Copies of this chain bind each other. A is one copy, B any other.
Amino acid sequence: MRNLSLIVHNLQPENKETPIQFIESDILGPKLFYRRNHFSFPTLTFSNYWLPVNGYVDTPRIFSMQEILKLPARTIKVVLECAGNKRGFFEPKVFGEQWEKGAMSHGYWKGVSLRSFLELVGIKEDSKEVIVEGYDYGKRTDTDRVYSFTRSVPLEKALHPDSIIAYEYNNQPIPFFHGYPLRLIVPNFYAMASVKWIKQITVIDSIYKGPFQSIDYVYYPNKNNDEGAFPVTAMNVNSTIQKPLDREILNTGTHTIKGIAWTGQGSISKVEISTDNGQNWRLANIRNSGPGDYGWFPWSYEWTVNVKGEYTIMAKATDSTNRTQPASPFWNRKGYGYNAYDKITIKVE
């Protein structure tokens, strides 16, 4: 791992992905945790951090870090995946960061259920959403106004005990680049929901329409109009081949094909591998992630190849709710949710 670093896509704002093919440990440390930003990093100058929880509630409150650290905590293993992960593979191509396969992370988050805060302030009946605002802000290319990065969580999701206000990542304070001191973690959802550098939490009785909800992070099925648009929420079932590498040249013999699979709904029930461009499929061995867990599932498959030539290798994951990766991705104008079969081509000589 010492020999690896993030792959830069942009510096202003900073967008870098994980060299996912080379990740051997199951838990990703801060150094190789992808960075996805809409704006410059915020400058947090407070000497004491306070978390306001307000809006459509009985008793608005401001929580100190000391208070937060005393509340009952839980630790969950989570895949965070950028909604634009694998965007670079859409055909026709779309605009925006050309992420390959590494806009995702995997590790332990510890914090307090968002629900606990909502109970402490007492949300009013008819509350509909919980808005979480980050300290990061700036201009968008499509407007002249300044916006902060703010997203709402539907009430049902906000009340799920595993939606947490996290203060630790892998037993350490959250690294600055990933949301220090507090980050919302919404398991199962694409990572735009997991707002970094939380500034405040506001309960509302309406539907929030901020640009990171009403313009971005929306699936637009058509290139030239917004018909059929719907919001990006839970992660699609997905998998990535880590080894061999695409366009690698191998010898005849036995090779381990390995990778990871994950989903935003249930757990992974099987991963199938094809070494003949999708004609035949065989089950890979999966390392189970355990219940109550939102982690990825490492898998592997031993492949013996004696005939020289070119081979297209595919991986296809299925989850416990019977969602399966499709042969072709669902094309959408902003390039979210790519989850077609993962595919590489290698040559045996």
Say how far A347's CB is from chain B's closest CB, in angstroms.
5
* A11-B243 Cα distance, complex, nearest whole Å: 12
Contact of A11 with B5 in the complex, beta carbons under 8 Å = no
- A:42-75 near B, CB below 8 Å: none
Identify which of A142, A248, A345 gathers the most chain B CB atoms within 10 Å of its CB. A248
Q: Does A222 contact B (CB under 8 A)?
A: no
Copies of this chain in its oligomeric complex: 2
The digit string for A1-12, where 1 denotes a CB below 8 A from any CB of B, is 001111111110
Counting contact residues on chain A (CB < 8 A from B), the size range is 20 to 34
* A96-B247 Cα distance, complex, nearest whole Å: 6
Report chain B residues within 8 Å CB of A345: 93
Q: Does A272 contact B (CB under 8 A)?
A: no
Contact of B7 with A7 in the complex, beta carbons under 8 Å = yes
Contact of B95 with A249 in the complex, beta carbons under 8 Å = yes
A19 touches which one: B8, B93, B97 (CB < 8 A)?
B8
Given A141-B250, A142-B349, A349-B141, the answer on whether A10 and B98 have CB atoms closer than 8 Å is no
Report chain B residues within 8 Å CB of A346: 95
Contact of B4 with A7 in the complex, beta carbons under 8 Å = no
* A349-B247 Cα distance, complex, nearest whole Å: 36
Q: Does A14 contact B (CB under 8 A)?
A: yes
Query: Considering only CB atoms, which chain B residue lies closest to A144 in the complex?
Result: B251
Q: Does A120 contact B (CB under 8 A)?
A: no
Q: Does A94 contact B (CB under 8 A)?
A: yes
Contact of A22 with B8 in the complex, beta carbons under 8 Å = yes
Q: Does A207 contact B (CB under 8 A)?
A: no
Given A3-B14, A8-B22, A14-B3, the answer on whether A247 and B141 have CB atoms closer than 8 Å is no
- A:9-44 near B, CB below 8 Å: 9-11, 14, 19, 22
Say how far A11's CB is from chain B's closest CB, in angstroms.
6
Report chain B residues within 8 Å CB of A95: 247-249, 346-347
The digit string for A333-349, where 1 denotes a CB below 8 A from any CB of B, is 00000000000011101
Report chain B residues within 8 Å CB of A249: 95-96, 141
Identify which of A6, A141, A346 gathers the most chain B CB atoms within 10 Å of its CB. A141
Given A5-B5, A7-B8, A349-B142, the answer on whether A247 and B98 have CB atoms closer than 8 Å is yes
The digit string for A132-147, where 1 denotes a CB below 8 A from any CB of B, is 0000000001100000
Report chain B residues within 8 Å CB of A246: 98
Report chain B residues within 8 Å CB of A347: 95
Starting from the known contacts A4-B8, A98-B247, 6 additional A-B residue pairs (CB-CB under 8 Å) come to A3-B11, A5-B6, A11-B22, A141-B249, A141-B250, A141-B349
Interface residues of A (CB under 8 A from B): 3-11, 14, 19, 22, 93-98, 141-142, 245-251, 345-347, 349
**5 closest Cβ contacts across the A-B interface?**
A5-B5, A95-B347, A8-B19, A7-B7, A141-B249
